[in-house]
Structure 1
Amino acid sequence: MPTVITHLAIPLAVGLGLGRRIVPGPLLACGVAASVLPDLDVVGFKLGIAYAADLGHRGFSHSIVFALAVALIAATILRSFRVPWATSFWFLLFALVSHSLLDACTTGGKGVALLWPFSGHRFFAPYQVIEVSPLSITRFMSDRGIAVLLSELYCVWMPSAALGTLLLGGRRLICCFVSNHRSSRP
């Protein structure tokens, strides 16, 4: 799996790139939290749940069905913050699914149960370009940890920053176009 911090990159880039009018602060915070939520399944290790089990690491909590359920519930709760339901739903679904897709791009583990409960098959992306992060702090504080961070920088953080910049630039371009169009009316 990528490091916990790297799972934040994608919703942060998209949320900040789209701006506060589309992704207000409470929604951005929920999207960031949602992007790490699937990894709460590591508690299963302490409970004796096998890694490859449906309830194990990268199992049901990494599925599209789980992402849909969490996004539906959270979007409904966020309505009390005056955030449009559809905006919340799609942003949170994107944040949750981004977690599973990043995990599928790692060089280790047993894959991701994207289609649970319909299939327990664990999937990997066609290209595994993100070095899998060690779970122990001592192993992370080594050359292995540096290799993981570098792969995350090149494969996640830099593309996320580029995406956020493109969204920000596109948003500004649209605003300029709209204001110029309005001012040119008779």
Structure 2
Amino acid sequence: MASIFAHGLTAFAFSKSFKNDLYSIKLWSLGVICAILPDVDVLGFKFGIAYGDFWGHRGFTHSLLFACILSLLICFLFYRKKMKAYQGVFLFIYFFSCTASHGVLDAMTTGGLGIAFLSPFDTTRYFFPFRPIQVSPIGASRFFSQWGLKVILSELIWVGIPALGYIMITYLVHNSFKSKN
């Protein structure tokens, strides 16, 4: 898996797509939660759930259906009034993108069993052909090691630089619209 830092940074970068009428700490905080939450499945190890099971790591909670369900839930719980307006579509797309980005980043890592993107309809696990991100160890004690340092360095290149580029582009786009108005 990618680290929580990469998942959180991706959600934060996506949040910069919004103009001031929707952008808030609440918005990007919920986006970061959506981006990190699929890894709740690691708790299954404590309960004897095997890695490759439906509820195992990188299983259903990494699927596109889970991203859809979580996005609808977040919108319903935190943005119910805005869901009736056009803004609701953008909020749903944002939370869906944040949640789905988790599986996308994990499918670009060098380890694991792949991602069950289509679960529960198809539980096949997939990786992308291009897998430059070092897989992150599970557990804080293992993360703060030489392995964790390699993970952070690969994520700086493959997630940090694109996220910074995206933030800069959205900043320029937003400012170009301000200057025209």
User: One fold, TM greater than 0.5?
Assistant: yes
Q: Indicate the residue corresponding to 2:105 in structure 1.
A: 102
Q: Which runs of 5+ in 1 are unaligned?
A: 180-186
For the Cα contact (< 8 Å) 2:107–2:115, is it kept in 1? yes
Tell me the CA shift for residue 155 of structure 1.
0.4
Amino acid aligned to 2:110 = T
Structure 2 runs not aligned, ≥5 long: none
Aligned to 2:52: 52
Q: Is the 8 A contact 1:112 1:124 kept in 2?
A: yes
Distance 1:136 1:76, change over 3 A: closer
Instruction: Tell me how many residue pairs correspond in the alignment.
Output: 178
Aligned mates of 1:20, 1:81 — CA distance in 2 = 17
Q: Which has the larger radius of gyration?
A: 1
Identify the match of residue 86 of structure 1 among 67, 70, 89.
Answer: 89
Q: Deviations over 1:110-134 (max 9, x none)?
A: 0000000110100101200100011
Check the 8 A contact 2:14/2:98 in 1, yes or no.
Answer: no
What residue is the counterpart of 2:66 in the other structure? 66
Matches within 5 A, 1:170-181: 170-177=173-180, 179=181
1:23 is displaced (CA, Å) by: 2.7
Match of 2:136 in 1: 133
Which segments of structure 1 move beyond 6 Å, counting only runs of 4 or more?
none
Could you tell me how far apart the structure 1 residues matched to 2:23 and 2:8 are? 15
CA displacement, residues 49-98 of structure 1 (integer Å, 9 cap, x when unaligned): 00000110000000000100111121122225757322221110010011
Deviations 1:29-61 (A, max 9, x none): 111111101000111000000000011000000
Tell me the distance in 2 between the aligned counterparts of 1:58 and 1:110.
8
Could you tell which deviates more after superposition, 144-153 or 22-31? 22-31
The aligned amino acid for 1:101 is V
State the Cα RMSD in Å. Answer: 1.6
Contact 1:2 1:106 (C-alpha < 8 Å) held by counterparts: yes
Alignment deviations for residues 116-169 of structure 1 (CA, whole Å, 9 cap, x no partner)? 011010010120010001124443333222111100000001110110110111
